[in-house]
A and B are shown apart, each in its own frame.
Chain A
Amino acid sequence: MNRDRLRRLISSAFVGACALAVLLALVPLAMVLFFVVRQGIGSLNLAFFTSMPRPVGEAGGGMANAIVGTLMLTGIASLMAVPVGVMSGIYMSEYAGTWLAIALRFAADTLNGVPSIVIGVFAYGIAVLPFKQFSALAGGFALGIMMIPIIARTTEELLLLVPNALREGALALGATRARAVFTVIVPAALPGIITGIVLALARIAGETAPLLFTSFNNRFFSRALTQPISSLTVQIYTYAISPYDDWHRQAWAGALVLVGFVLTCSLLARIATARIRRLRG
Chain B
Amino acid sequence: MRDLPFRIIVGAFGCVLALLVLAIGVELTRQSWLSIQKFGFHFWTTDTWDPVAGQFGALPFIWGTLYSSLLALAIAAPVALGIAIFVSELCPAWLQTPLVFLTELLAAIPSIVYGLWGIFVLVPAIRALEIWMPEPLRAIPLLSGPPLGVGMLAAGVILAVMIVPFTSAVAREVLQTVPAAQREGAYALGATRFEAIRAALFYARTGIIGSIMLGFGRALGETMAVTMVIGNNPQVSASLFAPQYTMAAVVANEFTEASDELYLHALVEIGLVLFVITLVVNAGSRLLIWGLGRSGRTRPSRVADVEASAA
Residues of A within 8 A of B (CB): 7-8, 10-11, 14-15, 17-22, 24-26, 28-29, 31-32, 35-36, 39, 83-85, 87-88, 90-92, 94-95, 100, 103-104, 106-111, 113-122, 124-126, 129, 145, 148-149, 152, 176-178, 181, 202-203, 205-209, 212-213, 216, 233, 236-237, 240-241, 248, 251-252, 255, 258-259, 262-263, 266, 270, 274
Chosen A-B contacts, 8 in total, with CB atoms closer than 8 Å, are: A113-B221, A117-B252, A176-B3, A208-B111, A209-B252, A236-B116, A263-B108, A266-B105
**Contact indicator B87/A22 (Cβ below 8 Å):** yes
Spell out B's residues near A (CB within 8 Å).
Answer: 2-3, 5-7, 9-11, 13-14, 16-18, 20-21, 23-24, 27-28, 30-31, 78-83, 85-87, 90-91, 97, 99, 101-106, 108-117, 119-121, 161, 164-165, 168, 192-195, 197, 214, 217-218, 220-224, 228, 248, 251-252, 255-256, 267-268, 271, 274-275, 278-279, 281-283, 286
* Inter-subunit contact B14/A88 (CB<8 Å): yes
Q: With the chains together, A119 CA to B279 CA distance in Å? A: 13
Q: Given A21-B82, A90-B10, A208-B224: A118 and B28 within 8 A (CB)?
A: yes
Residues A259 and B87 in contact, CB atoms below 8 Å apart:
no
Q: How far is the CB of B196 from chain A (nearest CB, A)?
A: 9
- Of B6, B82, B110, B281, the contact of A17 (CB 8 Å cutoff): B82
Closest to B16 in A: A84
Contacts of A83 in B (CB 8 A): 13
B contact residues around A108 at 8 Å (CB): 17
For B18, the chain A residues whose CB sits under 8 A away are 103-104, 107
**Chain B: which residue is nearest A236 at the CB level?**
B112
How far, in Å, is A25 (CB) from chain B's closest CB?
A: 5
Question: How many A-B pairs fall under 8 Å by CB?
Answer: 258
| B102 lies within 8 A of A29 (CB) | yes
Indicate if the CB atoms of A206 and B113 lie closer than 8 Å.
yes
CB-CB nearest in chain A for B27: A125
Given contacts A14-B197, A25-B103, A95-B7, contact A255 B111 (CB under 8 A): no
Given A17-B82, A104-B17, does the pair A32, B255 have CB atoms closer than 8 Å? Answer: no
In the assembled complex, the Cα of A132 lies from the Cα of B83 at a distance in Å of: 48
**With a CB–CB cut-off of 8 A, which chain B residues contact A84?**
13, 16-17
Tell me if B110 and A92 are in contact (CB < 8 A): no
Instruction: Collect the chain B residues with CB atoms within 8 Å of residue A178's CB.
Output: 3, 5-6
Report how far A111 CA is from B28 CA in the complex, Å: 15
When distances are taken between beta carbons in the complex, the residues of chain B under 8 Å from A212 are: 252, 255-256
A110's partner among B114, B164, B214, B282 (CB-CB below 8 A) is B282
**Separation of A125 and B251 alpha carbons in the complex (Å):** 14
Whether A91 lies near B10 (C-beta < 8 A) is yes
* A residues in contact with B27, CB < 8 Å: 122, 125-126
The smallest C-beta distance from B82 to any residue of chain A, in angstroms, reads 3
Other CB < 8 Å A-B pairs besides A8-B192, A25-B161, A28-B161, 10 of them?
Answer: A21-B80, A36-B116, A84-B17, A107-B17, A111-B17, A115-B221, A126-B23, A240-B116, A255-B112, A255-B116
The CA-CA distance from A266 to B281 in the complex, in Å, is 28
A32 close to B113 (CB less than 8 A) = yes
